[in-house]
Amino acid sequence: MIVGLGNPGKKYARSKHNIGWMVLDRLMKDHSVSPARLKFEALFGEARIKGERVMIVKPMTYMNHSGRAIRALADYFDIPHGDIFVIVDDIDLSFGQLRIRKSGGPGTHNGMRSIVDHLRGEDFPRLRIGISDDHPRGDLAGFVLGDFPKALQPELDELLDRAAGAVEDYLARGIEYSMNRNNG
């Protein structure tokens, strides 16, 4: 299961917090996948990417309740937590930096906290994508819910390509390879 975190609605479509969905959109375009089903508070579809059968998932619960949808799908389709790969924004990483981890805590990210709480554990791989070089220390919600500046569009497109490639590396050659190739 490849999960991108984001918020539903046109208002949030280009927000920094929705970069997980943007990466999924890039993967779906590159592999002709359509998230055609809406069930368990998630939009999802199935595809073959790099020889692996995967489920592409966009929780429709809003960011802070993402774990509800992920847990329901994982339980229904009997997907082990170690096979749930989450793509998420990270305000503490510089814009464009990728960080893949096998497991770990949620940090300050409420969407990740929801997943950890609902799965009752931290043992699932994730791709954290840096969205900030200099964010305001006060109004974090306003910052992450704001759109990427138009001037960053070329760099954002390149970042989405690299992040989609990191997911493909994970699917084709495993977590260690993807970490070694993409972290930094």
pTM: 0.93
What type of residue sits at position 132?
Answer: S
pLDDT for the residue numbered 137: 65
pLDDT for the residue numbered 138: 63
pLDDT for the residue numbered 21: 96
pLDDT for the residue numbered 139: 65
Does domain 2-182 correspond to CATH entry 3.40.50.1470?
Answer: yes
pLDDT for the residue numbered 174: 96
Give, as one character, the DSSP assignment of residue 148.
Answer: P
Beta bridge partners of 86: 3, 126
pLDDT for the residue numbered 107: 82
Query: Cα(24)–Cα(3) distance, rounded to whole angstroms?
Result: 8
pLDDT in tens, the chain (184 residues): 999 999 999 999 999 999 999 999 999 999 988 767 899 999 998 988 988 899 999 999 999 999 999 999 999 999 999 999 999 999 889 999 999 999 999 887 889 999 999 999 999 999 999 998 666 666 677 677 878 889 889 999 999 999 999 999 999 999 999 999 999 7
Would you kindly state where each structural domain of the chain is located, as residue ranges? 2-182
pLDDT for the residue numbered 26: 95
pLDDT for the residue numbered 47: 87
Give catalytic residues, as residue numbers.
17
pLDDT for the residue numbered 1: 97
Whether the CB-CB separation of 82 and 125 falls below 8 Å is answered with yes
Q: What angle do CA 134, 139, 144 make, to 5 degrees?
A: 65
pLDDT for the residue numbered 149: 86
Query: Cα(122)–Cα(16) distance, rounded to whole angstroms?
Result: 24
